Amino acid sequence: MAVDLSVNFCGVRFENPFVLAAAPPTDNADMVARGFEAGWAGAILKTTSVESEVVSLVYPMMVGMDLDGRRLAALENIDLISERHIDQVEKDVRRLKKEFPKKVVAASIMGGKKEHWEELVRRLEAAGVDLIECSFSCPHGMPEKGMGSAVGQSPELTEKTARWVKEAAKRVPVIIKLTPQIADITAAAEAVKRSGADGVTAINTVKGLMGVDLDSFVPYPNVGGYSTYGGISGPAIKPVALRCVAEIARKVDLPISATGGVTTWRDAAEFLLLGARTVQVCTEVMRHGFRVVEDMIDGLANYLEDKGLSGVEQLIGKALPHVVEHSHLPRDGRVRAHVDPEKCIRCGVCYVACRDGGHQAMEFGPDRLARVDEEKCVGCGFCTTTCPVADCLTLRPASVI
Ligand X SMILES: Cc1cc2nc3c(=O)[nH]c(=O)nc-3n(C[C@H](O)[C@H](O)[C@H](O)COP(=O)(O)O)c2cc1C
* Catalytic positions: 138
Report which of 143, 333, 178, 175 is spatially closest to residue 248, judged by C-alpha positions: 178
Q: End-to-end CA distance of the chain, in Å?
A: 40
d(CA 240, CA 118) in angstroms, rounded, equals 32
Element (H, E) at 151: helix 149-152
Site for ligand X in 196-235 (CB under 6 A): 204-205, 233-234
Q: Is 187 exposed, middle or buried (0-12, 13-18, 19+ CB in 10 A)?
A: middle
Q: Least separation, in Å, of the C-beta of 353 and ligand X?
A: 29
Helix (H, G, I), strand (E, B) or coil at 47: strand
| Residue 316 binds to ligand X (criterion: CB under 6 A) | no
Query: Which stretch, 97-105, 179-187, 218-226, 256-264, contacts ligand X (CB under 6 A)?
Result: 256-264
Q: Judged by CB under 6 A, which of 6, 15, 24, 347 binds ligand X?
A: 24
Which neighbouring-strand residues pair with 70? 67
d(CA 285, CA 72) in angstroms, rounded, equals 12
Q: Least separation, in Å, of the C-beta of 86 and ligand X?
A: 14
d(CA 118, CA 360) in angstroms, rounded, equals 63
Helix (H, G, I), strand (E, B) or coil at 270: helix
x-or-dash string of contact with ligand X, 129-168, rule CB under 6 A = ------x---------------------------------
Query: Which stretch, 33-41, 76-84, 303-311, 359-367, contacts ligand X (CB under 6 A)?
Result: 76-84
Q: Judged by CB under 6 A, which of 77, 161, 181, 186 binds ligand X?
A: 77
Q: Least separation, in Å, of the C-beta of 170 and ligand X?
A: 23
Element (H, E) at 393: strand 393-397
Contact 179, 136 (CB under 8 A): yes
| Residue 282 binds to ligand X (criterion: CB under 6 A) | yes
Hey, how many other C-beta atoms are within 10 angstroms of the C-beta on 221? Answer: 20
Q: Judged by CB under 6 A, which of 22, 104, 202, 297 binds ligand X?
A: 22
Judged by phi (left if over 0) then psi (alpha if -120 to 50, else beta), residue 234 lies in: left
Helix (H, G, I), strand (E, B) or coil at 363: strand
Q: Which is nearer to ligand X, 22 or 337 (CB)?
A: 22
| Residue 179 binds to ligand X (criterion: CB under 6 A) | no
Q: Which is nearer to ligand X, 3 or 124 (CB)?
A: 124
Contact 8, 269 (CB under 8 A): no
Q: Count of residues binding ligand X (CB under 6 A)?
A: 27
Q: Which is nearer to ligand X, 21 or 65 (CB)?
A: 21
For 143, phi and psi rounded to 5 degrees? -60, -30
**Extended beta strands in 22-67, E state:** 42-48, 62-67
Q: Judged by CB under 6 A, which of 149, 186, 278, 283 binds ligand X?
A: 283
Query: Which stretch, 74-82, 300-308, 311-319, 382-390, contacts ligand X (CB under 6 A)?
Result: 74-82
Q: Judged by CB under 6 A, which of 53, 79, 90, 92 binds ligand X?
A: 79
d(CA 252, CA 314) in angstroms, rounded, equals 20
Q: Judged by CB under 6 A, which of 181, 227, 259, 278 binds ligand X?
A: 259
Q: Least separation, in Å, of the C-beta of 279 and ligand X?
A: 9
Q: Which is nearer to ligand X, 79 or 247 (CB)?
A: 79
Residues that bind ligand X (CB under 6 A): 21-24, 46-47, 62, 75, 77, 79, 81, 108, 135, 177, 204-205, 233-234, 237, 259-262, 281-284
